[in-house]
Amino acid sequence: MLQEAGETIVFQDEVHFQITTSICRKWVRKGSRPKVKSAPGRKNASYSGYVVPSTGQLIGTKPGWFNYETVIASLREFIGEMGQGPHLTIILDNAPWHKKAVRLVQGEAWPEYQDIRDRVALCFLPPYSPDLNPIEQCWRITRREVTHNVYHKGIASLTESLDQYFAKYRDPNQKMVSLCSFKYKD
């Protein structure tokens, strides 16, 4: 797909960040046996994220659960965050909730979704190709910098840490630009 003049390409994905501490590599004194506290349970913080690879902007919304209704609400929230700007092409993976949302917004062209159609074109990645979605790199680095080897007392603590982290990358920045760039071999 070629980008047209005045169009912004955006990649979208959903993610769950678990409250259970994920143990990862860490520098420690040789011979020591560090202990990392971990909250019990299967609780998690859910986010729907949008990344603009050309500027590095990372915008997250908190849907709570993933279904076609939350995808549509998330799209509207993202469009509002982007303000009046260029037309957006949002690239989604092939999750069932994405397929239904796209069918309702673009395929069946229901009138209540005209506001989304006016600002956004929705496209899909090829099936089974998460490696082509640059936001996966954003999730990877978020886990490394916010959740690995860190104890969070509860969901509120985890969500606060994630919100603070995402707030740093809401504006254009070079870190997310470099994370989202593909390196092709010659």
* Residues 6+ positions from 85 with CB-CB distance below 8 Å: 8
Residue 38 has pLDDT above 70, yes or no: no
What DSSP assignment string belongs to 98-144? HHHHHIIIIIS--GGGHHHHHHEEEEEPPTT-GGG-THHHHHHHHII
Identify the structural domains of the chain with CATH numbers, from first to last: 7-19+41-173 (3.30.420.10)
Residue 2 has pLDDT above 60, yes or no: no
Distance of alpha carbon 149 from alpha carbon 51, whole angstroms: 26
Quote the pLDDT of residue 26.
67
Is 179 a residue whose pLDDT tops 90?
no
Please give the helix or strand (H or E) that residue 46 lies within, else none.
strand 44-52
Contact 126, 106 (CB under 8 A): no
- In this structure, the number of other CB atoms found within 10 A of the CB of residue 164 comes to 10
pLDDT, one tens digit per residue, over 136-152 is 999 999 999 998 888 88
- Average pLDDT of the residues in 25-32: 76
Q: What is the pLDDT of residues 66-84, one digit of tens each?
A: 999 999 999 999 999 998 8
Q: Average pLDDT for residues 79-99, to the nearest whole number?
A: 92
pLDDT band at 1 (very low <50, low <70, confident <90, very high): very low
The pLDDT assigned to 33 comes to 75
Angstrom distance (rounded) from CA 1 to CA 4: 9
Contact 175, 181 (CB under 8 A): no
How high is the pLDDT of residue 3?
52
The proportion of the chain whose per-residue pLDDT surpasses 90, expressed as a percent, equals 64
Percent above pLDDT 70 for the chain = 88
Top pLDDT among 32 and 82 is at: 82
pLDDT score for 75: 96
